[in-house]
Structure 1
Amino acid sequence: MADAHTGAGLAAGPGAASADLVIGPDGLGRPRWAASDELMRAYYDTEWGMPVRDETGLFERLSLEAFQSGLSWATILRKRPAFREVFAGFDPDAVAAFDESDVERLLGDARIIRNRAKILATIGNARATVELRAEGGLVDFIWSHRPAQTPAPTSYAEIPTTSPESIALSKALKKRGFRFVGPTTMFALMEAVGIVDTHLVGSHRRGTSGVWA
């Protein structure tokens, strides 16, 4: 995944440190995947790695990470407005109530990723999210897997694709009925929502989340 936002995608990129961080015309350092495409740059500058601590926001990120599997993150970003529309703004209660007619509606909508398994997983994950409220909710559940330390990569090659915490989170979510939540996908989620900071050292976003000093 050459333009993925995840550690998995970054690790597949060029390994030379000098090629991994790009200084833009604005003088700011960004990873190569965020340096050229305007949409990806805006996502990197304003959203990726910033804390997400609301249920709807985390459910959306969890869902989009699942849909991204095997695809580029740029594809998901371009389709995100349509995803939000057809999945009721990723409101877990609304998605949990989807039935077979909704599945067929989604499979017929060319604006999103028409993968039955991922669509069914999203609906199932919404129901699991609602049930998880009895244990304190999705937000506390996911954030409880924050590690004691965060990576400090200087190159793509130093960015992990999984961690003990992402493995534990994957297992815990699967136990509660979630699907498409493998360790690599969960590490990508943890990167995206600020639980770990894998911004390259030298990036203008390094340390800006407020989660890590």
Structure 2
Amino acid sequence: MSVLPLVFTSGWASGINAYAVVFLLGLMGATGISDEVPPALERPDVLIVAGVLFLCEAVADKIPYVDTAWDAVHTVIRPIAGAVVAALLAGQNGSLPELAAGAVGGTTALVSHLVKAGLRMGVNTSPEPASNIVVSLAEDVGVSGVIVLALFHPVAASVVAAVLLALGTVTVFFVMSRIRRYWQRWRDRRRQRRSGRGTVSGWG
């Protein structure tokens, strides 16, 4: 059976929460629930590190503006994680060259990450913090559910991931005005901080 649906799905999920993907896959493999998981992801040290980072992301991703800073840092990390996980899955299955799998997983993770980051910028224009928590929880549940589904029904999971990616992309275009307001607000805050430091140093 082709591993491409699982590779695509893991790439999409990695673009949203790479640590959750690594932790869930490793946990499913280590507990014997699935034999599709590469041994490298089942190692205790990998599970511990991924679990701790997943908890860190679970907190940071629910705080307005902190989530965007976290996303910015992970613009490189998530696509790399998506490519590595995809290559490991391909190596485990043998039906798709690892380099091709890495390209698919990394590219899908990058697109998914950009969609997530764009949507969160739009959410950050909301005056109340509850929307960040709701969206973040929905992402956590969505990633977890789709990854578990992918191990048993990879084609169905890849269809779900593709639909969610398409819907997310369309939504980003609809909230572009809010994203632009977010960036304007962010630039204004930086300008105010710089002018404030200049005033303090001038008085000094």
**TM range, normalised to the smaller chain?**
0.3 to 0.5
**TM (normalized to structure 1)?**
0.32
**TM (normalized to structure 2)?**
0.33
Q: Which has the higher helix share?
A: 2
The higher radius of gyration belongs to 2
